Amino acid sequence: MRWRSPGRLGDLTAGRALRTVDRFRRFLVSDHAAGWAFILPSVILIAVFGIVPILWGLILSFQKAGLISPEREWVGVSNYAKIASDPKARQAAVNTIYYSALFVPASILVALFIAHALNRRIAFVRFYRLAVFIPVVTSTIATGIMFLWLFDKNYGLANWLLGKVGLGPFGFFEDPNQAMIALVLMTVWGWLGFDTIIYLAALQGVPQELLEAASIDGASRWSSFWRVTWPMLGPATLLLVVWSTISALQLFDEVFFVTHGGPLGRTSVVVFYVYRLAFEQGLGSLSLAGYAAAIAYVLFLVILLLTLAQFWLGRRVVHYSS
């Protein structure tokens, strides 16, 4: 590029400018510019839709705010203080803990057994795997519709089949005492394939030599499973425990669609309560979005601490082979 000299004084500035241009050009072909050019679109999007909301949510949790009205009033920590004395928040917390305590162990143990059963070369195993995996791709709404119909109090197939073995009839989603159990059954059905795939992958990573060695030493199948295979599945189990707990604590779609928190609020879980506060009541003039944000942040904190605790515990218990 040619640079026109604008005179003596200009020469100096021109020289400096030339050096600047040169440096800029070198920067343009450098790895720094290339790297940032590659990540820039993603970084902007993640900043706007990932990082700003995290900070904004924190700010909102200290405000009295609705979603539509632009008024924002600082209320300090009173949103957080309110949670402790809110009976509906307490009920949501209890329901969430109840659900998680049932869902996490049930889904993981059943998946472990199924994965063990599927990890062999027998006829139709591809079909069996397919049957277990298919619910992974059905949406929560589709699953909800299927189970609402299957568990219909009057005309459902489940009550008919259970009646054949002398059980029921059950109210399922309409019975305050059974609704949560029915939700657990439904979500376990939906998640089994996911957990099974993880366990199956882990099982296939167990070295055959180890099992053969155990067998040579006279170990029964039962003890070689618990002494050899189970410890090797440690990392997979830890992943599933952490992952299932996180998703159980965030249960929403199923509750919103299938029970809408009922009957008698017995399935109202935390995220559903947050949704109701912000979008069903807060969208109007009640200005509960700030309070909802505070609850969401508390749940986030609980999830974070629980996850750290699980990893900390896991690190002491789980054996990593490589």
Partner 1 sequence: MSAVAEAPVVLTRSDARSLPGETGMVERPRRRFLPFDPWHLFLAPLAAVMLLPLLWMVVTSLQTEAQTFHFPPILWPGTPRFGNYSEVLGQSAFGTWFWNTTVVTVTVVASNLVLCTLAAYAFARIHFLGRTFVYFVILATLMVPLQVVLIPTFLIVKELGLLDRLGALVVPNLVNVFGIFLLTQFFRTLPIELEEAARIDGASRLSILLRIVVPLSLPALATLAVIQFLWTWNDFLWPLVTILTNQDAFTLQLGLATFQGAHNTQWHLVSAANIMSMLPMIVLFLLAQRYFVRGIATQGLKG
42 near partner 1 (CB under 8 A): yes
103 near partner 1 (CB under 8 A): no
Rg (CA), the chain: 28
The whole-angstrom separation of Cα 214 and Cα 234 is 19
If the CB atoms of residues 11 and 212 are measured against partner 1, the closer one turns out to be 212
Amino acid at 130: L
Residue-wise burial string across 71-90, b where 16 or more C-beta atoms lie within 10 A, e elsewhere: ebeebeeebbeeeeeeeebe
* Sites for partner 1 among residues 154-183 (CB under 8 A): 154-157, 160
Residues in contact with partner 1, shown as a per-residue x/- string from 204 to 243 under the rule CB under 8 A: ----x--xx--xx-x--------------------xx--x
Task: Count other C-beta atoms under 10 Å from residue 185's C-beta.
Answer: 19
If the CB atoms of residues 147 and 172 are measured against partner 1, the closer one turns out to be 147
The answer to whether the beta carbons of residues 140 and 253 sit under 8 Å apart is yes
Cα angle for residues 28, 31, 33 (degrees, 5° grid) = 40
284 near partner 1 (CB under 8 A): no
If the CB atoms of residues 14 and 69 are measured against partner 1, the closer one turns out to be 69
* Sites for partner 1 among residues 13-32 (CB under 8 A): 31-32
* Sites for partner 1 among residues 123-142 (CB under 8 A): 123-125, 127-128, 130-142
Q: Smallest distance from the beta carbon of 2 to partner 1, in angstroms?
A: 26
If the CB atoms of residues 127 and 312 are measured against partner 1, the closer one turns out to be 127
Q: State in Å, rounded, how far the first CA of the chain is from the last one.
A: 56
* Sites for partner 1 among residues 245-264 (CB under 8 A): 246-247, 250, 252-253, 256-257
Sole binder of partner 1 in the list 39, 77, 109, 167 (CB under 8 A): 39
How far does Cα 113 stand from its chain's mean position? 23
